[in-house]
Structure formats: structure tokens, C-alpha cells
Amino acid sequence: MAETLVFRAIKSTERDGASKTKPLKYIRRRIGQHSEGFHESGKKVSKVNLEVSPHRAVCAVRLMRIELGGAFADLLNEKGKGSGSNEMGYVERTLGFRTRPLDDRDLRLVTDIVGGAIRWRRYLDHLIASLCHSQKMFEGMEPLLLQILRIGFYEIVKLDMPPYAVVDENVRLAKVALRPGAGNMVNGILRKWFCLRCDSFCIAGFLEGDDRAKARALATIYSHPVWMVRRWIKQLGQEVAEKFMTWNNSDPHFSIRANIVKDFTRADLVEQLTMLKVPHKLSPHLDDFVRISTGMQIVIQAGLLKQGLCSVQDESAGLVVSILDPQPGETIIDCCAAPGGKTLFMASRLRGQGVISAIDINEGRLRILKESAILHEVDGVINIIHADLREFAGNDPVKYDKVLLDAPCSGLGVLSKRADLRWNRKLEDIEVLKKLQDELLDAASMLVKPGGVLVYSTCSIDPEENEERVEAFLAKHSEFNIDPVDRYVTRDFVMKRGFYFSNPVVHSLDGSFAARLVRSSNDKFSLPNQ
């Protein structure tokens, strides 16, 4: 799974690795024919407008790319492709003009506003729709105009920016990017909100209705899909569900892992963070990890990631590697490896002795893993395999000491970092994923030696993807038994059956799950000559 941030800028979810991101011309077409930067022929006219706020122009285009173009929000927030001077190129190609260059403050605002506008989209849309003349007016609103309004409402309601300045800046953007009438609409709606404030838009009263009405109200208050809210209330109760949603709407916290293979220790990382004046804390769970809540752009700009001295990886993912417990000299297979965060961490634990076979169906993401392995100087112990695990397992005669299946999942445990994921997931996705998870578990089990270890993990908090999948697997595979994880993580991460679970609300980490299963050493099957 993609728990490590890497430098890539397009969404790629096709099984063959092909991009699903829509081209800029599609986004421009959805904006409408009013963009003043393009002739009817579609030929770009280069313009510079120094009156338009650069961070707002970039925010509007990013939000368009995420909602209409399929780009990943977390990837666009990285200092690589899709930020800095590159971002202004996107603005010019999409809107037809450039503004002044982005400075560091602008970049921070872009990150805050884009992430916040996505998280709070349902709530912001409720406010906007309440101020429109009719629901039809809201539903027929041009995509770019809607994004500009979302930016304005987020800046006023959540960032507490001066309302009049926000109104003036967003009106100017709408007039230049669209037309004068669009600016007038932005002016009218934002000023109407400022005059009325929130008294006329209170949602709390709906909490007194039936369960469906209550779920809809909570979904609006906390800006989550209704199906997700109803599911969590049923599974967790309303109080815990609200805590989960509050966590998902909070600013994401990050952990950084020092790359000891390059003789860059946690102490070295702490020294660098101190020099860069980035606030940090040591991880209480993992020796190589440091926590930061702000300053990620500073770390990225300092080049620590590009040099392979460290990587961004949540501690919950690192704890899964601790549960697998890779040791020098072992043969390990990572069954859904790309883009390779756990693979790289496991490789660093081998200390140059042993082999990790990294298999994935997505060839493009495997290329990222290969490049990262070279950068982190662990490519000598990583063997890249492009294949579908379900086909590969039946044809591979090799059996491994340890097998990690970090299965494709709903990602419901990482919604704090993946702000856009909540809107891309549907309830029916979980049923499809459960079937895939069962198939992959069956395939992964075929690769385990007698006496070997199989670790199944997800970045989901949903029991149907976690313990229920393991219980269903054990019902069919009597040759496997649960190996409690309390030898590898502290007791507060251990569930009743000996599984691992990181709870975002309790542990302030991404939500994740892992089960450590051991194959009986007496299990009879014919081992190939190795």
C-alpha cells in the first residue's frame, strides 16, 4: 500500500498501471468556454495577471485536477511535480494566465486550503447551497466557480481570514478566470454569508430526528459520506464515530524514518530537523522514526528525501514491519509491494543479507519502487516482480520464510492524510475488496514454508476487511495458526485474538491492522530442491 510519500503526480489505479488522470483539455472543457486565456481554436494565449492571488489560482486548479482530473491530493501537496513553478504552468494551461510566482507562504496556504476544502467539501457545499436561490442553481454551477466559492468559504469559516479581503480576492479570481458575471455571483454569495453568518444554517437541530436524519446531519457537520457515517455509528457507536471523523478532519501528522543503510541515524535526522527549525518528537514505538506535525515542506525543500536519507512513513506501517520481524539472511516476499514503503523498511532490516521479492500488478508503481530502492541503497536485496499474485503463487516453486500481504483495502484508516479518499470510496467497494482480499490471502498462503510466517495487513479500520477476513481464512486453512503480536508491539496495540490494531483516536497514528499467522512445521507438501 502507498504509506510512503514518493514523488509522483498522477493517479494510477488501473490494474495494468495505466493512468486514469484526465487531461487538462478535459478540465478546461468542464470549466466552460468562458476562460479568457484561450481562443475558440483552443490555442493558448500567454497572459500575466499580477492582481490575482497566486495561491488562490493554484488552489482552484488543484481542486479541479483532483475532482475532475483524478489526481491524488496528497501527491499534489509534495514539493516535486505539481508544485512551485510547475503549478503556475498548470494555472496558465488551465485558466489561460499566470500570476506572480508562489513563495513559501503561498505554498503553505495552498497545502492548507486544498486539503481543508476537500475534507470539508460536504459542509462547505451545504453553506453554498443554502445561499443559492435554488438547489437547481447550486447543482448547475460551473465546476471552477464552485471551487472558487469553496476556497472563499473555507478561508472565512475555517481559517478565519478577514472576510472582506477574501471576498475581494476571490471575486477578482472569478472575474479573470471566468467572466465578470461569475465574479458578481461570488461577491453576492460570500457577502450574503458574511451578513447572515451561521445562525440560519445550523444543522444541529436535525440530530433530533430518526437515525437516517441523524446520520445525514452528522455527515454534513463532519463532512463525510452518509454511508460511512451510518456504518461507523453501527459498528462503533455515535460517540466514537464522531471522534474518528474529528481525527479525519484534523491536520495530518507525519512520521519520518531515518535510512540507517546510508549510516543516517535517527540522531542525525534529529540534528537536521533541529537545524531546519522543524518541531519534532521521537517516536515512542520505533527506534528509527521521528514525528513532525508541521514543516514537511521545509524537510522536502532541504532535499533529505531526494537524497534517500529518510522517507515519510507512518509509524503504523513501521509497526507492521516489526510484526513481520525481518531478520538478516531470510527470504521474504512482499505480495502487494508497490510503491514500496514497507519493502524499503524491511530491506533496511536485512542489513544486506537475504532477499526480498517485491511483487505487484502495477508496473508503473513498481518502477517507483525500483528507483526508491536504488536511492535508498537497498536494491541489492530487492528482487522486483511484475505479476498478479493470484497467478504467480500457483506457478512459483519457491517457498519463503516470511510473506507479507499488505492487501488493497478501503483505506478508511488513512482519511486524515488522504483527504480525497472519503469522496472516492463507495459502500459497494468494500464487498469487492473483501473478495479480492480473500483471493490474495489464499494465494499468499501458498508461498509460505512449513514453519514460516504470513502477515496480513491493511490500512483500514473496518472489521470486515480485517479480523473477519483472517477468521474466514483460518476456517479454510487449518495449517495456519495465530501468532499473537504482543512480542513485537506494546500491549495497547494488541486485540483480543492477538491481532494488531492502531486506532487513530487512541494512538494518533493512521488506522491499520495486522495478523501474524504461522504455518505448521508439520504441514506436508513437496518442497522443491533449492
- The yes-or-no answer on residue 335 being catalytic is no
96 is in an annotated binding site: no
Given a contact cutoff of 8 angstroms between Cβ atoms, the answer to whether 258 and 310 are in contact is yes
Answer yes or no: is 373 a known binding residue: no
- Residue 206 gets which letter from DSSP? G
Helices (H), 326-426: 341-350, 363-375, 389-395, 421-424
Task: Provide the 8-state DSSP code for 311.
Answer: E
Q: How many CB atoms lie within 10 A of CB 102?
A: 21
Helix residue spans in 40-102 (DSSP H): 54-67, 73-76, 85-95
Question: Three-state DSSP class for 524?
Answer: coil
Q: How far apart are CA 147 and CA 153, in angstroms?
A: 10
Coil, helix or strand for 257? Answer: strand
**337 belongs to an annotated ligand binding site:** yes
- Closest by CA to 177, choosing from 92, 110, 85, is 92
Residue 352 annotated as lining a ligand binding site: no
* CA angle 66–67–72, rounded 5-degree value: 25
Please provide the DSSP assignment of 124-191 as one string. HHHHHHHHSS-HHHHHT--HHHHHHHHHHHHHHHTS---HHHHHHHHHHHHHHHT-HHHHHHHHHHHH
Q: Could you give the 3-state DSSP secondary structure of residue 326? A: coil
Query: What's 199's DSSP letter?
Result: G
- CA 457/CA 475 separation, integer angstroms: 18
3-state secondary structure at position 409: coil
Give the separation between CA 528 and CA 530, rounded to whole angstroms.
Answer: 6
Of the candidates 170, 27, 18, 40, which has an alpha carbon nearest to the alpha carbon of residue 93? 27
How far apart (Å, rounded) are the C-alpha atoms in residues 406 and 358? 12
Residue 338 labelled as part of a binding site: yes
Written in H, E and C, the secondary structure of 484-505 is: CHHHCCCHHHECCCCCEEECHH
- Does 340 show up as a binding residue in the annotation? yes
Q: Positive or negative, the Cα torsion across 314, 316, 321, 325?
A: positive
Closest listed residue to residue 407, CA positions, set 445, 370, 381, 371: 445
Other CB atoms within 10 Å distance of the CB of residue 386: 17
Query: Which three three-digit cell numbers place residue 507?
Result: 494512538
- Cβ(504)–Cβ(510) under 8 Å? yes
Q: Which three cell numbers stand for residue 329?
A: 539472511
DSSP state of 4: B
List the alpha helices (DSSP H) in 237-312: 238-248, 266-275, 296-301
Active-site position among 132, 310, 409, 459: 459
Known binding-site positions for S-adenosyl-L-methionine? 336-342, 360, 388, 406
Where in the sequence numbering do the catalytic residues fall? Answer: 459
Known binding-site positions? 336-342, 360, 388, 406
